[in-house]
C-alpha cells in the first residue's frame, strides 16, 4: 500500500494512448488526468470490469470514453469488417448528447475511423435504420430507445459487442429501467467488458452490479461526495415563500450575487413562476426543464457555458414525485410510471449535466433528499474552481436541511456548522420586500400556464423551422436566446430600476451609491470586484458575515 502511495501520478502520455487521442485531449485543454481518470483508464485498458464511483464533476465520462476509443483503434488494426463494439447507456437524452459530444471531441483527429451514433437524437426512422446499417463503432442511447432498435432488428451486437458502459447507474433501477436493462442484456454476448459509472453506491447500484459486472474492480475513491469546504461554501437563509422571492430579488438587483448562477426549484410550474417574477424587475433568466425539447435544453446549457447569460432556473422534478410519499392504492404505481417517463426525457437537471464555471447554486426550493442536494451542489466548484450554495429554507423544509447537515457533518471539524447561517435582515430591505410581495402575487396560475405554452411553442419553432437557416448563417445563431421575456404578466417599467431611497444605508457603498441623489440608479460593477466572485453581501452589519 505504501509503494502505491509513493508512485507519481500518471499523465495522459504515460498511459500508452494513441497519438490521435492525445491530440484530441490536448485540443480540449486537459493538462493532466483527474484522480478517477488516472485510476480507471489503466484498468479499463486491461479489459477489466470496473465499478466507478466518483463525485459529480470528477471526470467520469472521459474516464470511460478514453479507453473505449483506444480499444476501438486497437481492434481496427486487424478487423476485417465494420462492427458495433461499444454500447453506452445513460438515463436521459441530455446525458446521451453530452457523452456523444465528449467522444466526438476526443476523436476529432481520428477522422471517420471511430463513428459514434446517439440514438436519443430525434432522427427519421428510415434515416436511423440506414445509419445503424452502417454499424457505427459506438452506440449511445437511453435503455428504452436501445430496446426498441434491438427488437426491430435495426442493430445487432450479439457477436460483436466488446464493451458495455452504464452511466449514472444509480438512476437506472430506482426509476423503472430494470426491465429495459434485463431485456438489453438478452441481446448481448455473455462475454464482454462492463463498466458502471455512478456518483453514489446505493443499494440499486449494487443490485445492478450483480447483473452486469463479473469479478469487478470497485473504484471507490477516498474523496468527499462534494468539493471540500475550502472550495465550496454552504449557506442557508430561513425564509417563507414570499420572503424567498424578496431575498432573491434583492441579491440580484443589488448585484450581491456575482458570476453565473443556477436557481433550483422542484417543479416546472415553479420554474415559470420564478422567471415571470424576475421579469417584472428586468432580471433576465432562462429556463431548463423536461418539457422543452432535448436539443433546446442542450443548446441552453451550451449558451450558458459560453457566457451568453448568467441565470438559469432549473427544475429538479425527479424529487417532487416521491413514490414513498403516497401510498394510496393504484396511485403509487401510476406515480412511478410517471416518474420513469419523466426520467427518460430529463433525469433531473441536477444530475450529470455539464454546467461550466458556475459560481453559485441557489436552492429556491430545498431538495427533498440528501442525494439531490449533493448533485445540485455538484454543479458548482467543479475542477479547481470555487463556488457556493445558498439555500432558502422554509419551516417545512427545515427537516430536510437538518438531514443534509447530519450527512455532511463527518467531513467538517467538530462544532463547525455545515450550512452556515447567512444572516439577512429583512427589515433593512423592507421596500424590496414590499415590491416582491406584489410582484409574486401578480404571477397567477393562468399566467404560468400561458408562459409554459408560449415557451414550448417558441422553442419548438426555433428548433425546427429555423434549423436550416442557422446552419447557413451561424453568426445569426446568437439571436436565438433562451432568456427572452415571456410577457404573460404585466410588467411595470419602473420596477426595473432601484430608487436610492429604498437601498439600505449599509448597502449603498456596495452598490456604488456614495452621495445622495434623487434619480434612480442602475447598479454598476466596481472595477475592483472579480467577475467570478461568488455570493457577496458586503457592508451589512450582520456580525462577522464573510464573503462567500
- Domains in the chain (CATH in brackets) are 12-220 (3.40.50.300), 232-319+345-443+489-493 (3.40.50.300)
Contact in structure between 538 and 547 (CB atoms under 8 Å): yes
222: DSSP letter: S
Reading the block at residue 480, the C-alpha cell is: 436565438
Contact in structure between 281 and 460 (CB atoms under 8 Å): no
pLDDT score recorded for residue 328 = 41
Contact in structure between 362 and 537 (CB atoms under 8 Å): no
Instruction: Compute the residue count for the chain.
Output: 548
pLDDT score recorded for residue 338 = 46
pLDDT score recorded for residue 317 = 65
The total of other beta-carbon atoms located within 10 Å of residue 517's CB is 9
CA-derived radius of gyration, the chain:
25
- Conformation bin of residue 88: beta by default, left when phi > 0, alpha when psi is -120 to 50: beta
CA distance 199 to 371: 9
CA distance 477 to 314: 23
Reading the block at residue 322, the C-alpha cell is: 416521491
Residues 6+ apart with CB under 8 A from 118: 96, 97, 99, 100, 140, 141
The total of other beta-carbon atoms located within 10 Å of residue 476's CB is 11
| DSSP secondary structure string for all residues of 22-48 | HHHHHHHT--S--HHHHHHHHHHHTT-
List of the chain residues with pLDDT < 70: 1-8, 56, 174-176, 222-224, 294, 317-353, 383-384, 415, 459-491, 493-494, 496, 501, 508-548
The total of other beta-carbon atoms located within 10 Å of residue 216's CB is 17
pLDDT score recorded for residue 310 = 92
Q: From residue 101, how far is each of 104, 128, 140, 274, 397 by CA, in Å?
A: 5, 18, 11, 31, 38
119: Cα separation from own chain's centroid = 21
Element (H, E) at 261: strand 260-265
**Does pTM top 0.75 for this prediction?**
no
Q: Which phi and psi (to 5°) does residue 109 adopt? A: -95, 5
Reading the block at residue 517, the C-alpha cell is: 441623489
pLDDT score recorded for residue 345 = 40
Residues 6+ apart with CB under 8 A from 65: 99, 102, 103, 106
CA distance 290 to 332: 21
Q: Residue 131: how many CA atoms within 13 Å on its side-chain side?
A: 17
Calculate ∠ Cα 418-424-428, nearest 5°. Answer: 170
| DSSP secondary structure string for all residues of 413-448 | -TT--SSEE----GGGGHHHHHHHHHHHHH--HHHH
CA distance 19 to 158: 31
pLDDT score recorded for residue 365 = 96
Q: From residue 421, how far is each of 232, 238, 536 by CA, in Å?
A: 15, 8, 14
Residues 6+ apart with CB under 8 A from 420: 233, 234, 235, 236
Amino acid at each position: 500500500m505504501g509503494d502505491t502511495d509513493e508512485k507519481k501520478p500518471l499523465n495522459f502520455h504515460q498511459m500508452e494512448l494513441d497519438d490521435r487521442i492525445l491530440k484530441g485531449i490536448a485540443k480540449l485543454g486537459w493538462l493532466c488526468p483527474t484522480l478517477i481518470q488516472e485510476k480507471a483508464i489503466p484498468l479499463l485498458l486491461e479489459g477489466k470490469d470496473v465499478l466507478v464511483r466518483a463525485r459529480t464533476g470528477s471526470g467520469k465520462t472521459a474516464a470511460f470514453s478514453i479507453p473505449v476509443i483506444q480499444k476501438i483503434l486497437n481492434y481496427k488494426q486487424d478487423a476485417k469488417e465494420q462492427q458495433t463494439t461499444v454500447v453506452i447507456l445513460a438515463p436521459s437524452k441530455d446525458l446521451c448528447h453530452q457523452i456523444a459530444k465528449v467522444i466526438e471531441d476526443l476523436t476529432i483527429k481520428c477522422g471517420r475511423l471511430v463513428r459514434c451514433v446517439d440514438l436519443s437524437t430525434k432522427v427519421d426512422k428510415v434515416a436511423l435504420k440506414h445509419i445503424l446499417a452502417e454499424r457505427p463503432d459506438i452506440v449511445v442511447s437511453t435503455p428504452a430507445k436501445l430496446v426498441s432498435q434491438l427488437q426491430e432488428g435495426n442493430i445487432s451486437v450479439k457477436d460483436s459487442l466488446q464493451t458495455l458502459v452504464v452511466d449514472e447507474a444509480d438512476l437506472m433501477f430506482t426509476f423503472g429501467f430494470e426491465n429495459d436493462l434485463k431485456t438489453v442484456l438478452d441481446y448481448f454476448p455473455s462475454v464482454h467488458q462492463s463498466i458502471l459509472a455512478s456518483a453514489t453506491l446505493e443499494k440499486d447500484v449494487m443490485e445492478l452490479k450483480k447483473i452486469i459486472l463479473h469479478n469487478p474492480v470497485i473504484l471507490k475513491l477516498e474523496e468527499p461526495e462534494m468539493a471540500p469546504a475550502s472550495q465550496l461554501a454552504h449557506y442557508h437563509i430561513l425564509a417563507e415563500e414570499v420572503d424567498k422571492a424578496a431575498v432573491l430579488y434583492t441579491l440580484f438587483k443589488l448585484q450581491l450575487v456575482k458570476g453565473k448562477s443556477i436557481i433550483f426549484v422542484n417543479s416546472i410550474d415553479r420554474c415559470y413562476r420564478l422567471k415571470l417574477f424576475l421579469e417584472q424587475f428586468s432580471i433576465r433568466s432562462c429556463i431548463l426543464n423536461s418539457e422543452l425539447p432535448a436539443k433546446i435544453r442542450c443548446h441552453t446549457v451550451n449558451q450558458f457555458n459560453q457566457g451568453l447569460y448568467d441565470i438559469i432556473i432549473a427544475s429538479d422534478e425527479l424529487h417532487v414525485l416521491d413514490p414513498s410519499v403516497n401510498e394510496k392504492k393504484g396511485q403509487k404505481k401510476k406515480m412511478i410510471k410517471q416518474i420513469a417517463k419523466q426520467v427518460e426525457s430529463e433525469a433531473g437537471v441536477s444530475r450529470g449535466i455539464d454546467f461550466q464555471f458556475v459560481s453559485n447554486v441557489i436552492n429556491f426550493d430545498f431538495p427533498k433528499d440528501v442525494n439531490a442536494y449533493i448533485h445540485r451542489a455538484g454543479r458548482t466548484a467543479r475542477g479547481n474552481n470555487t463556488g457556493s450554495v445558498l439555500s432558502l429554507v422554509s419551516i417545512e423544509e427545515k427537516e430536510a436541511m437538518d438531514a443534509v447537515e447530519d450527512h455532511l457533518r463527518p467531513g467538517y471539524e467538530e462544532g463547525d456548522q455545515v450550512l452556515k447561517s447567512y444572516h439577512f435582515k429583512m427589515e433593512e430591505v423592507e421596500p424590496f420586500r414590499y415590491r416582491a410581495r406584489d410582484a409574486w402575487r401578480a404571477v397567477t396560475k393562468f399566467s404560468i400556464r400561458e408562459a409554459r405554452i408560449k415557451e414550448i411553442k417558441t422553442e419548438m419553432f426555433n428548433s425546427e423551422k429555423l434549423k436550416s437557416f442557422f446552419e447557413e448563417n451561424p453568426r445569426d445563431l446568437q439571436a436565438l436566446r433562451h432568456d427572452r421575456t415571456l410577457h404573460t404578466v404585466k410588467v411595470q417599467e419602473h420596477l426595473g430600476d432601484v430608487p436610492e431611497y429604498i437601498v439600505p444605508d449599509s448597502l449603498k457603498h456596495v452598490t456604488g451609491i456614495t452621495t445622495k441623489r434623487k434619480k434612480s440608479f442602475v447598479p454598476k460593477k466596481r472595477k475592483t470586484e472579480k467577475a467570478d466572485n461568488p455570493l457577496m453581501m458586503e457592508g451589512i452589519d450582520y456580525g462577522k458575515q464573510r464573503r462567500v
